[in-house]
Structure 1
Amino acid sequence: MKSPLAILFAGLAFSTQAHAAPDLTEDVRARIANAVERYASAIACAGVKVQPGNVYLMDPGRLDDRLPKYAVLWTGDIRCQGGSGTEATHLAIATVNTGQYVVQPELSSPVIRFDSPVRFVTRVVSVASDTLVLEGKEYAPADPRSNPSVPVRFTLRADRDGHWKLTDKIHLDKVTDAHGNH
């Protein structure tokens, strides 16, 4: 019979292995991107392409389970509404569960709100379990619908229901460094 201490150490070793941080290899990125592309194609106009570089590992522990979560930004026209201004960047949350790469629709656009102040996200600054720091361009009053010109950095935080709400925004053209440069 094994001692209780040996059983405890064996249990701890298994627990540590089971919850080790997942790798974000190119293969995993490509499989997650493919799952999001299939999801986006089901809810948006055809032709959505999701690049593996748009897959970001979120900190473990988001929401209430221990499956790895991936934030994936994709651009499309949800519900194919057509017209100018209906295509935008959206968010999908994906995971790997029993070897399957899947999108969690209950945590993804359009079920959740993704309160981005910009139509198109141009840069991901950082991703955490409940925080996204992103960049894009807002419209100035005289900008044409197809060409926003005001660069911004903004922070979105997930609330308890999974909605991503705007919590901070700065205009990058007004930010200066220590030398007074914009």
Structure 2
Amino acid sequence: MKLYIKYMVSLRCKLMVKLELEKLGIEYTSLELGMIEIKENIQKEQLQQLKQNLAVSGLELLEDKKSILIDRIKNVIIEMIHVSEEVPKVNYSEFISEKLGYDYTYLSNLFSEVKGVTIQHFIIKHKIEKAKELILYDELNLTEIAYRLHYSSVAHLSNQFKKVTGHTPSYYKKLGKKRKGNLENL
């Protein structure tokens, strides 16, 4: 039996869900971002208690098939951009389609209908957030960041970055250093 959880997007969320499952004595075979595979069917009372316990932490047990699929799409994208160290060898549409076992056109249309933005726009927003994080860490240069985030060039990354944030990556980096300096002077 598989259960899908909305807003489960980090390792901290996984740990919290694991603790809740253990507290309720629910055995599972797999625990991934957004999904738990339960060993055997659980009682309605346990399921209801799990739902309530997760809600306290801001997580939501999904039951609607469309919501489950949308959340799975989001989790694949988040894992691909924020968690995975490797760049997918295929383009994003193929990667998402293969990972979820659905035709990309179907996934794309459903996502746009429900979320009001395209999958591509969602990916771009997350890539720029990851780029901001990597810029502030100051461990990689822009060429390395562009490669890691699957951009064809630094110029492509810079153009998208400016479109989304209103700033160039170098200006954003200066802002981050300025803020850090101000905090250190407190």
TM-score band by shorter chain is: under 0.3
Instruction: State TM-score, norm by structure 2.
Output: 0.26
| Structure of higher RCO (CA pairs closer than 8 Å, 6+ residues apart) | 2
Instruction: Specify which structure has the higher proportion of helix.
Output: 2
TM-score (norm 1): 0.27
